[in-house]
Structure 1
Amino acid sequence: MNCPHCHSKHSSSLNRTNDLGYWMYQCQECKRYFNERTGTSFNFLELPTDIVFQVLLCRLRYKMSLRDVAEFFRLRGFEFTHETVRDGEERFAAVFAIQLRAKRKGKVSSSWDVDETYIRVKGKWCYLDRAIDRDGNLVDSMLSQKRDLEAAIAFFTEAIAVTGILPERVTTDGHAADPRAITEVLGTDVDHRVSDCLTNRIEQDHRGLKQRYYPMLGFKTFASAKRYCQAFDEVRNYFRPRSRMTEFVSLSTRRERFVTRVQKLQEIFQTA
């Protein structure tokens, strides 16, 4: 194992582990000690990596507050405070989002439904732009402090960068900034439809975040809200049991897919 301090390839195992069970090493060049976590984003954590993953999964997947998560893991013999959960979310929620966004590039259809919903941050309303395709798969989500042309352009630009897809049809609710933003970013060949009825699908899709957001009693900072909303949407989309809106998936298949995807997500998390 290479030394994370001097990057030397000459290191030797001490044939012992630290308190968390990670193998200890000593560099033959700089004589410094290190373990498997040293030099990684998991360094200085007081919990095993698999427990950190499960804590973050509980936070993003289920309706559990910071204290609920800490209380739940106390039953499993791991004692930590809600601040540990908050720190884990702050450090690793972006890891989930980045990895999952990269995995779904090029996997959405060319028909998008775009809409905004409101998120309260430190007593002020912010705007969460979201888009899904005709099968209900996530295109992108972006939190902004204003609902204007600049925010709309930024959202469509990011959506194309994330998905790698130029849509053929975009349905919006008729906000004044959307036509110009679509023309500037997506081009004039895109079929832009305006209809409240046609956007009902994404209006219903907002409920996933809204149901998770209400028990949290709002966010304290814009940065934490943006980080959480993006990671939540990515994890929620990753665990969708259906790939099409009308697809039938049995309960046994749902459970099997969930377990498989958790295992794959844990592998991604541990190698990030």
Structure 2
Amino acid sequence: MDTAGKTVDFLFRAKRDKVTARRFFETSIARKGVPETVTIDKSGSNLAALQAVNAARETPIMIRQLKYLNNVVEQDHRAVKRITRPMLGFKDFRCARIILSGIEVMHMIRKGQMKTED
């Protein structure tokens, strides 16, 4: 999420690893530009990926791993959690990925973040 509360990008994977996290950050930076700071959870893979991205840059991206600063992101996911909780789980990961991506897109549309062609 950016400072205005808009979702920048999201990624849903079965496992967290450095390679996937780095690819996500590089793709997000290519699409939306370089952020000044990135707030992440305590995931070691996210930290390692951002450190690898910073190693290739002249001006590093500031990394914040403070729990209370991540609350904005968690509050944004509250709408998704409210919808998925009554579903009683997903049959497989592919199904979960498709459904959650759709829910995230609908949430972004509701927040006015999707551009439409008129």
Question: What is the TM-score with the length of structure 2 in the denominator?
Answer: 0.79
Per-residue deviation, residues 48-77 of structure 1 (Å, max 9, x unmatched): xxxxxxxxxxxxxxxxxxxxxxxxxxxxxx
Aligned to 1:140: 9
Greater C-alpha Rg? 1
Please say if 1:231 is aligned against 2:91: no
Aligned to 1:169: 37
**Change over 3 Å in CA distance of 1:227–1:157 after alignment to 2:** farther
Distance 1:146 1:202 in 2: 20
Distance 1:142 1:157 in 2: 12
Aligned-pair identity (%): 34
Q: Does the 8 A contact of 1:174 with 1:194 survive in 2? A: yes
Per-residue deviation, residues 198-242 of structure 1 (Å, max 9, x unmatched): 11111111111101111222222222211221222122112216x
| Aligned match for 1:185, one of 35, 49, 53 | 53
The total of aligned residue pairs comes to 115
Please say if 1:199 is aligned against 2:52: no
**Change over 3 Å in CA distance of 1:160–1:223 after alignment to 2:** farther
Distance 1:158 1:230 in 2: 17
Name which structure has the greater RCO, CA cutoff 8 Å, separation 6+: 2
Question: What is the TM-score with the length of structure 1 in the denominator?
Answer: 0.38
Distance 2:94 2:106 in 1: 18
**Structure 1 runs of 4+ off > 6 angstroms?**
none
**In the TM superposition, what is the alpha-carbon distance from 1:168 to its structure 2 partner?**
1.4
- Determine which structure has the larger helix proportion and give its number: 2
Aligned to 2:79: 208
What is the RMSD computed on CA atoms of the aligned residues? 2.5
- Determine which structure has the larger strand proportion and give its number: 1
